Amino acid sequence: MTLLQYLDMRLYLQEAILVKMDRASMACSLEVRAPFLDYELVEFVMGLPSKLKLKGFTSKYILKKTMENWLPDEVINRPKKGFGVPIAKWVKGPLKELFKDLLSSDRIKREGFLNPENVTTLLQDHLANKKDNRKQLWTLLVWELWVNRYHPTL
C-alpha cells in the first residue's frame, strides 16, 4: 500500500465519505452496507499492482473488468455522483429571502467589494431558471456572511 492510498483511505474515506454516508442513511432510517470495505478484500486489493487499479484514466479498472458480465455498461461507466447539497433549491426556496437580502444591490454597492449588477444578474437568472448559478451564489452568500460578521459597519 502506498502512502497516498493509506492517506486516502484514512482521511478521505474514513473521515469524510463514510461519515456523510452514515449521517445521510441514519437521517432516512436506512441501514447501509459497504461490501467493498471488507478487511480481507481491502487487504487483497491493496496488494494488487497499480496497473490493475488504474489503467490510463480508468479508475477501478479491475472492478469494472470483473463486473462486465453482470452489470450493464451504463452502470459500469456512469460518471461519479457525490453527496450533493441542494443549494439550487435552497436559493429558490427556504433561503430565498436571505439570498435576496444579503445579495441586494444596495448592500453590495455600500460595501464596495463586488459589482452589484453582476451579483443581481446571477441571482435573477437563477431564480428565473435561466441559469444554474448555485455555486457562485453560495460563494457570494458565504462572503456576505463573513463581511457581516467581521466588518459589521459596512
More confident residue, 21 or 104: 104
Does 83 have pLDDT greater than 80? no
Whether pLDDT at 60 is above 90: no
The tens digit of pLDDT for each residue in 3-47 reads 888 898 889 998 888 998 899 899 999 999 888 889 899 889 888
- Give the pLDDT confidence of 132-141 residue by residue, as tens digits: 999 999 999 9
Spatial distance between the Cα atoms of 52 and 74, rounded to a whole number of angstroms: 21
Task: Provide the pLDDT confidence category of residue 85 given band limits of 50, 70 and 90.
Answer: confident
Number of alpha carbons in the 13 Å side-chain half-sphere of residue 61 = 11
